[in-house]
């Protein structure tokens, strides 16, 4: 059966000492709690090695927020999937709307990144989601369906089985405006149906689909209670141990 997962996306926040302290705090809190889901933190590249050395990977998973679309070589400033894997990280967020919007990431770039992540043993947390104008125009299913198809449907069923999906309506990210639990469920069920049409029921039923967008302790329970919502990708609320644990304990 698919896993329930709560993953933090720290974005470009915290210095290395601050990040290590936060990771240790989350790790300790998880050890002392009854936890009914997998918990992951995705940190800036600079934090991966010291964070990996400071947490128990059995308790807390670790991921990067991006990786390069090339294997290695003359790409100044880039960080490859192999480099990420060599830090001890097990996951990588790919296709976050901020990367698509501000850094021009396309489906073609993302297919390269996904392939390299998988080749290096990393599990991609692949983000999809529509902008407000697309939702208002009634195009949200079409947009999200296309993002899943164009970004991932070149994969074999075996490789697709390693993907974690994160539905993040762009209008809900960092805005305080959460999708309602019904809106999230409707889209997650649509995504699962799209996966089923391509890879069959067993693969679709095993795919974890996380919700992201202003998820917090006060709304996590209602969102996670929906049958097709398998957890959350958490931005702002992952930067405070208490808030993050409040979301984790919604399961």
Residue 64 CB coordination number (10 Å): 26
Answer yes or no: are the C-beta atoms of 238 and 20 closer than 8 Å: no
Closest C-alpha among 22, 28, 72 to residue 42: 22
Nearer to ligand PEP, 118 or 173 (CB): 173
Fill in the per-residue mask, 151 to 170: x = in contact with ligand PEP (CB under 6 A), - = not in contact. Answer: -----------------x--
Q: Least distance from C-beta 213 to ligand PEP, angstroms?
A: 5
Q: How many residues bind ligand PEP (CB under 6 A)?
A: 13
Of positions 173, 191, 195, 248, contacts ligand PEP by CB under 6 A: 173
* Tokens of residue 231, six digits: 């957890």
Pick out residues in 191-230 that bind ligand PEP (CB under 6 A). 212-215
Q: How many residues does the chain have?
A: 251
Greatest CA separation for the chain: 47
Q: Which residue has the tokens 């994160």?
A: 166
Is residue 44 close enough to count as binding ligand PEP by CB under 6 A? no
Pick out residues in 81-110 that bind ligand PEP (CB under 6 A). none
Q: Which residue has the tokens 């090339």?
A: 70
Please say if 168 is a catalytic residue. yes
Please say if 188 is a catalytic residue. no
Nearer to ligand PEP, 89 or 237 (CB): 237
Nearer to ligand PEP, 12 or 74 (CB): 12
CA 58 to chain centre: 19
Of positions 121, 161, 174, 193, contacts ligand PEP by CB under 6 A: 174
Own/partner long-range contacts of 102-110 (Cβ < 8 Å, ≥24 apart):
107/147, 107/150, 107/151, 109/69, 110/69, 110/151
Annotated active-site positions, please? 96, 168
Given the rule CB under 6 A, which residues bind ligand PEP?
9, 168, 173-174, 212-215, 233-237
């Amino acid at each position: 059966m698919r896993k329930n997962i709560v993953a933090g996306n720290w974005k470009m926040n915290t210095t290395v000492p601050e990040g290590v302290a936060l990771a240790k705090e989350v790790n300790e809190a998880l050890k002392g709690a009854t936890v009914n889901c997998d918990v992951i933190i995705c940190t800036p590249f600079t934090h991966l090695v010291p964070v990996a050395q400071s947490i128990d990977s059995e308790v807390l998973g670790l991921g990067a927020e991006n990786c390069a679309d090339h294997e290695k070589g003359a790409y100044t400033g880039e960080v490859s999937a192999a480099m990420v894997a060599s830090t001890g990280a097990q996951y990588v967020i790919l296709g976050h709307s901020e990367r698509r919007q501000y850094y021009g990431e396309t489906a073609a770039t993302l297919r390269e990144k996904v392939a390299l992540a998988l080749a290096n043993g990393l599990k991609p947390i692949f983000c999809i989601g529509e902008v407000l104008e697309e939702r208002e125009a009634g195009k949200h299913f079409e947009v999200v369906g296309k993002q899943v198809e164009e970004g991932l449907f070149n994969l074999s069923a075996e490789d697709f089985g390693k993907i974690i999906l994160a539905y993040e309506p762009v209008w809900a990210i960092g805005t305080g405006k959460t999708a309602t639990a019904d809106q999230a469920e409707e889209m997650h069920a649509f995504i699962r149906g799209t996966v089923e049409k391509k890879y069959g029921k067993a693969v679709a039923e095993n795919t974890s689909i996380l919700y992201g967008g202003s998820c917090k302790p006060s709304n996590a329970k209602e969102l996670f209670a929906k049958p097709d919502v398998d957890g959350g990708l958490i931005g702002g609320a992952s930067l405070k141990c208490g808030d993050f644990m409040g979301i984790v304990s919604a399961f």
